[in-house]
Amino acid sequence: MTSLDDLPLRDDLRGRSAYGAPQEPVRVSINVNESPFDVPPKVVEHVVDEIRRALPGLNRYPDREFVRLREKLAAYLGHGLTAERIWAANGSNEVLQHLLQAFAGPGRTVMGFGPTYSMYPLLSAGVGSEWIAAERDADFELSPGTAAAATAERQPDVLILCAPNNPTGTPVSLETIAACYDATDGIVIVDEAYAEFQPDGTPSALELLPGRPRLVVSRTMSKAFAYAGARLGYLAADPAVTEAVRLVRLPYHLSAITQAAACGALDCADVMLAEVDRIRVQRDRLLEEIAALGYRVYRSTANFVTFGGVADPNAMFEEFRRRSILIRDNGLPNCLRVTAGTEEETTAFLDALAEITRERPELRLAEPAPAAG
């Protein structure tokens, strides 16, 4: 059998591991921040109609400019945005890849504030860029002063701010984003994958776009929009940024079926987002009840919670897995991450955490660990 080591792989990819959150048929899947709610039947019907209309035309390449979809995404985002300021791809991971292909690349640097989304270093490596993990304040917070100082010092070609941050849930203020923008001549990407879960009235970085041509706000239909399987991410930025990513995208990268499925769901945005409130209630319940069990919770405005005070995260992950509950071990010392699911799923998780803590008290640190990062 040939192993990876036998292949003439790029030197800078040797020894790296692929993204690999487990996909297993378990009772409770709360490990990748998906919505627990199925696409509602009414939406399914409408999307099927849209796809049916697209099918006879599949002999032709799809609209390379996906104009109708961009118009719908602009309308969904509001903030006076128009289609020329929107770009989309197969998940926001591909949007980020397009941005790094255009603005990073060999010899350039990409920076973020760790711990943050595990795909950023992988996407950076994929385009041959160096990933810089700058430090956060205590409790994973990110103040304008800390963020701007690191940005000014390192001068990354691309800075990625994850707001709220995965895996910690930490929000990022517009002051922090604006301060970073002013501290660099590079591209500043704000990854708002979880924006819709923030408290009502929380401003989006979309507000900062006017007059900031190097600022990019990335969004996805995978999380609050409950459409991860459709693979649709998008960005809003200056029209010049969308011109730049056209230089690196593959021709016709969004299939006619993807475009139809996304357009159909956007027509039903209210229904697709209807469960966000219920998910936020479960998120807040996790924050409260995990703390009550003696673990350290970190502030979260996303649909997941990271908790610390775990003596052996891998052992505890396996205890949950034995109970057919899949949570996430991000490799963060003494921490695990759990997604807010349905009320029943959240109850199953909390009951299991109480049981594990009772049966294996050695898995909980006596003193909650001081905040890493």
Confirm or reject binding of residue 114 to ligand PLP (CB under 6 A). no
Under rule CB under 6 A, residue 191 binds ligand PLP:
yes
Rule CB under 6 A: say whether 31 interacts with ligand PLP. Answer: no
- Establish if 162 lies at the interface with ligand PLP (CB under 6 A): yes
Residues 6 or more apart whose Cβ sits within 8 Å of residue 69: 88, 254, 259, 262, 263, 266
Q: Print burial letters for 2-35: b (CB count within 10 Å at least 16), e (below 16).
A: eeeeeeeeeeeeeeeeeeeeeeeeeebbbbbbbb
In the chain, the amino acid numbered 143 is: S
* Amino acid, res. 251: P
- At residue 243's C-alpha, the angle toward residues 241 and 244, to 5°, is 65
Question: Are the C-beta atoms of 123 and 151 separated by less than 8 Å?
Answer: no
Of the candidate spans 14-22, 221-229, 277-285, 320-328, the one that interacts with ligand PLP by CB under 6 A turns out to be 221-229
Residue 33 lies near ligand PLP (rule: CB under 6 A):
yes
Coil, strand or helix at 12: helix
Q: Under a CB-based contact definition with an 8 Å cutoff, are residues 223 and 279 in contact? A: no
The answer to whether 233 contacts ligand PLP (rule: CB under 6 A) is: yes
Backbone angles phi, psi at 227, to 5 degrees: -140, 40
Closest CB to ligand PLP among 17 and 59? 17
Q: Is 170 in a helix, a strand, or coil?
A: coil
Q: Which is nearer to ligand PLP, 91 or 313 (CB)?
A: 91
Between residues 33 and 242, which has the closer beta carbon with respect to ligand PLP? 33
* Burial classification of residue 372, based on how many CB atoms lie within 10 Å of its CB (0-12 exposed, 13-18 middle, 19 or more buried): middle
Contact 297, 169 (CB under 8 A): no
Q: Which of 31, 166, 242, 303 binds ligand PLP (CB under 6 A)?
A: 166
Which among 40-48, 222-230, 277-285, 351-359 is the span making contact with ligand PLP, rule CB under 6 A? 222-230
Binding residue (CB under 6 A) for ligand PLP from 66, 113, 117, 197: 117
Measured from the CB of residue 142, what is the shortest distance to ligand PLP in angstroms? 14
Closest separation in Å from C-beta 195 to ligand PLP = 11
Least separation in angstroms between residue 234's CB and ligand PLP is 9
Residues contacting ligand PLP: total by CB under 6 A: 14
Using the minimum distance from each CB to ligand PLP, give the nearer residue, 111 or 356. Answer: 111
| 93 near ligand PLP (CB under 6 A) | yes
306 binds ligand PLP (CB under 6 A): no
Cβ proximity to ligand PLP, 220 vs 300, nearer residue: 220
- Residue 90 or residue 109: which is nearer to ligand PLP going by CB? 90
Judged by beta carbon, residue 98 or residue 364, the one nearer ligand PLP is: 98
d(C-alpha 21, C-alpha 345), whole Å: 19
Q: How far apart are CA 348 and CA 30, in angstroms?
A: 11
Stretch that binds ligand PLP, among 37-45, 90-98, 121-129, 281-289 (CB under 6 A): 90-98
Distances (CA, A) of 350 to 172, 301, 367: 28, 19, 20
Report which residue's Cβ sits closest to ligand PLP.
91
What's the N-to-C CA distance of the chain in angstroms?
Answer: 42
Least CB distance to ligand PLP at residue 140 (A)? 14
Task: Tell me whether residue 220 or residue 352 sits nearer to ligand PLP (CB atom).
Answer: 220
Which positions touch ligand PLP (CB under 6 A)?
33, 91-93, 117, 162, 166, 191, 193, 220, 222-223, 228, 233
